[in-house]
Structure 1
Amino acid sequence: MKAASKKEVILNTAEDLFYQNGFHAVGVKSILNEVGVAPMTMYYHFKSKEVLIIEILKRREIRYFDFIKEKTNGANSFTVYAESLIQAHMDWMKTDGFNGCLFLRAKQEYEGVNEEITTMSKDHKTTLLNKIERETKSFNNSNMLGMKLFMILEGVTSMAQILEMEEIEKSAFNLAKNIQAVNE
């Protein structure tokens, strides 16, 4: 297997540090110490900490959308789609989302400080909502199912901070069944 490039190591390490501690709590020096590279190496790949954050968010978005696409691909009904999407999101939360949403954290920390990061964070949520609405509309000619399903996913993300995942999962699936029953 090919060794990860310095750029990849910086991206992966910084993402982990930001996710665990927050963006403002982690300085460039912490990242450099953790990776074991000189400042010149970091600034060769990323002109600033904010450029690094933008790259991390872009990569994370691609990973998330690829992950849920793989899990929902081939769904032939709203029920199958909703269950697949919720399960995919739950699986993501269990492995990559244990500490909430990195996009919401970025928006909170950079609102009024860096418009590009804030906009990127908002756009991520809008893109997810639009994707779910578009995909659910193919099963039921209504955007409301998509919005409701999106709200379930956001609730899962939020509640994962305070409740056990098994309880959240059960509730999310029950809510999805209820929204489908109401819209039939």
Structure 2
Amino acid sequence: MSLTQKTPSGKRQQLIDKATELFSKEGYHAVGVDRIITESGVAKMTLYNHFASKSELVLAVLKQREESAADSLRAFVNGYEQPLERIKAVFLWHETWFKEATFCGCMFINAASEFPDHGDAIHRASAAQKEHVTALLGELLADMFEPAVAARLAAQLLILVDGATVTAQISGNPDSAMTAWDIARQLIAAQQSTLAGHVAP
């Protein structure tokens, strides 16, 4: 599994691809526009013809990253049929990602950290990505629980997914994904047990 997306060629795409590589490895504030221009081989005027500011470039990077990750994750999940296995697939997908040589953590978590103002467009884009992952988890859980329960569990599972991602980034150990899944499975089983206990004999 790779988050690398086949994208159109062209100067704009060269800039996005190089910026993605540098931002993911070194952070957003640490990488300047001049370095992106130099390493992408694109003229400064060309960059500003496509992006009015560095912030616009960051947003374009995050947009492409979200689309490629979402497509990859959904395709992976769709390889499974049973509801519980489809939820587990979310964690398996992350485990595979954590094992990639290019894994440097979540670009959205890192962006939210570097742009902490909740009103900032970059922070909002990062928050929106987390909302979309939560929505996917909610869809998967809705095959097992009523909407309110599915929504609550989805929020809990997102915390586990993101916690596993940060742990893998810090420790370099991809096992955090399956550790998170063990906890998620217990939460799901506990909810099933609770609901079964409320069923009239």
TM over 0.5: yes
SS of the residue corresponding to residue 161 of structure 1 reads helix
Out of 162, 177, 184, the position equivalent to 2:185 is: 177
Match of 2:45 in 1: 40
- Counterpart residue type for residue 102 of structure 1: M
Q: CA RMSD in A?
A: 2.3
1:158 and 2:192 correspond:
no
Cα distance in structure 2, aligned partners of 1:3 and 1:69? 22
Cα distance in structure 2, aligned partners of 1:150 and 1:81? 15
Number of residue pairs the alignment of both structures matches: 183
Q: Residue 78 of structure 1 contacts residue 140 of structure 1 at CA under 8 Å; is this kept in 2?
A: no
Cα distance in structure 1, aligned partners of 2:70 and 2:23? 20
SS of the residue corresponding to residue 161 of structure 2 reads helix
Match of 1:6 in 2: 11
- Correspondence 1:1-184 to 2 at 5 A: 4-73=9-78, 75-95=80-100, 98-112=103-117, 115-141=120-146, 142-143=149-150, 144-184=152-192
User: For the structure 1 residues 66 and 3, does the alpha-carbon distance in structure 2 shift closer, same or farther, using more than 3 Å as the test?
Assistant: closer
SS of the residue corresponding to residue 162 of structure 1 reads helix
Give deviations 1:99-150, integer Å, cap 9, x for gaps.
2211121112122397111111111111211221132112222223322322
- Counterpart residue type for residue 154 of structure 1: D
Q: Residue 90 of structure 1 contacts residue 156 of structure 1 at CA under 8 Å; is this kept in 2?
A: no
Cα distance in structure 1, aligned partners of 2:57 and 2:89? 32
Q: TM-score, normalised by structure 2?
A: 0.81
- CA shift, 1:182, in A, is 1.3
Unaligned runs of 5+ in 2: 1-6, 193-201
Percent identity reads 28
**107-116 or 29-38, larger mean C-alpha shift:** 107-116
SS of the residue corresponding to residue 165 of structure 1 reads coil
**167-176 or 127-136, larger mean C-alpha shift:** 167-176
SS of the residue corresponding to residue 63 of structure 1 reads helix
SS of the residue corresponding to residue 169 of structure 2 reads coil
- Counterpart residue type for residue 156 of structure 1: A
SS of the residue corresponding to residue 65 of structure 2 reads helix
Q: TM-score, normalised by structure 1?
A: 0.88
Cα distance in structure 2, aligned partners of 1:169 and 1:111? 26
Cα distance in structure 1, aligned partners of 2:128 and 2:118? 17
SS of the residue corresponding to residue 145 of structure 2 reads coil
- CA shift, 1:96, in A, is 8.1
* Runs of at least 4 residues off by over 4 Å: none
